[in-house]
Amino acid sequence: MIWSTAALAATISLGPDEKLQDAVDGASDGDTIEVALSYVPFEPFVDWSGKDLTIQGAGGLADIPPLAVDDASLVLREIRIQGSGTSAYPVSMTLASDKGPEELVIKECVFEGNALPVVVYAFSPAELTVEVVDSTFSENTTTQDGAAIRGTTLRSAKVTWSTFDRNAAEGDGGALAFTAGNGGAVRLESVDFGGNEGGSQGGDMTVEGYDLAAQYVMALDGQANAGGFLYVKESSAVSLDDVIVHRPKATTSGGAIYTWDVPSVRISRSLFCGASNESTDYHGAFMHLDGPDETELSMSNTVVHGTTGGDNSPAIRANEANLEFIHTTRADNRTAYGVILGQTLSGLNLENTIVTGATSFVNYGEFVGTAMGTHNLWDEITSVEFEPRDDFTDLTDDPYSLFETDPNFEDFTGGDCTTEPTLAEGSLAIDAGKGDDADGSPADIGAYGGENSADLFVFPEPDGGEDTGPIDSPPDSPVDSPRDSDSTPIV
């Protein structure tokens, strides 16, 4: 091994025939270990405590054995851990309650084919954070929660420009599971999910006790018992912006999203296509809002298209809820109980919204608030009238509520997730809404109208370009991001 120093920190060069454990043992707090690209891991695992280290590839992706770290920070850069068995986690980090703050940073790394996830655990109230940047997690498995990453009692977790592909957990969270949050925060930005599977809840991700904010997320073919894309429990707020989710699937509740005891769910500028739920109970085929307390659901500039469910399924099931839909499009949601089934609804507000191809719009047990609506379009509703109609006179008096024929969408038929749901020329929705569009013209009704409709479904690329989807299924290789320009269309 070769030591070089700069100020107080040293860089240790690890040769192909040397032990990583020896380098760790000889390192000091703040040192960097640089691993030769020809290094072949032969140690079952490496462990240490109490000193902050950086481990990185020497100019490229380097393979290392699993790591166990206690009461310290770790930065991994250009590192690959693959094929670890059930005897060692790829990375295991724990923090005692009297330690910290510490952090785990994973940059430009690959975790593939491991039989256990990256595990990060803090004994409350220690402060431990996780950051993942430009990394790939593929074909990892676990018999527990979170096949790619499982974080418990974290202060925060942030994931950006990363891909989670074909991970499978027998518990919650096919790829990601962040639990016991105690008011922490989880942030996702520019993240791709493909083909992940949760055995219980959350096909792509499970979040419990953290505020969740996600933007520029693409997800394809996630599946779970409940919440084919996402499961959130006992979080104060969920915010999804610029999210595209294709073909999420659940067997009992919430084809795309399932929440329990979450007071605020906000979704904007997003597309959900082909969500399904196999259950024959009264459970949401697209979304299920559950729990003892009221949820405020707000959706804007969002398309929910092609939702299907078993007998008695609505597209959205809301136990206790106040619902608001502004500039949304709900097309071809052919579920047995229509778009919404509510146990108790305290409010319903629709504005500039399109509903087409549904058995009915709303059914509920008790309505204790007010219903308001203006500039909405309805078409191909088997039961055109609300149930019961008398409580929705504000909506049915809308001059745009009913029409005989509608050239709403251009080539936007059931099951078609490759064509953007743009309004066809001559649609009754064009310039017929309340307010203005982003270009100053009268607002279009539906998701493509309003001040926030500019560049809808256009995502940023790492090189500064733009990506309009769709995404691969699966990516060509574990390190090929679904955002790559050579992505093949969904068929």
Secondary structure class of 389 (helix, strand, coil): helix
233 within 8 A of 209, measured Cβ to Cβ = yes
Count helices and strands in the chain by DSSP H and E runs = 2, 42
Query: 1 is written with which tokens?
Result: 């091994």
pLDDT tens per residue, the chain (491 residues)? 565 555 568 999 999 989 999 999 999 999 999 999 999 998 999 999 999 999 999 999 999 999 999 999 999 999 999 998 888 999 999 998 777 789 999 999 999 999 999 999 998 767 899 999 999 999 999 999 999 999 999 999 999 999 999 999 999 999 999 998 878 899 999 999 999 999 999 999 999 999 999 999 999 999 999 999 999 999 999 999 999 998 999 999 999 999 999 999 999 999 898 898 887 677 888 999 998 888 999 999 998 888 888 877 788 888 888 999 999 887 766 666 677 877 788 888 888 888 877 766 777 667 767 777 788 877 666 554 444 333 333 334 443 333 333 445 544 444 445 555 567 777 778 888 889 998 899 998 888 899 998 888 778 876 555 554 433 333 333 333 344 433 333 22
Torsion of CA 303, 305, 309, 311, to 10 degrees: 100
190: left (phi over 0), alpha (psi -120 to 50) or beta: left
Rounded CA separation 437/16 (Å): 61
Please tell me the distance from the alpha carbon of residue 205 to that of residue 202, in angstroms, as a whole number.
Answer: 5
- Say whether 174 sits in a helix, a strand or coil: coil
Distances (CA, A) of 409 to 398, 424, 431, 484: 22, 5, 15, 28
Q: Nearest Cα to 421, choosing from 487, 329, 312?
A: 329
Strands (E), 376-486: 377-381, 459-460, 466-467
Whole-angstrom distance between the N-terminal and C-terminal Cα of the chain?
Answer: 52
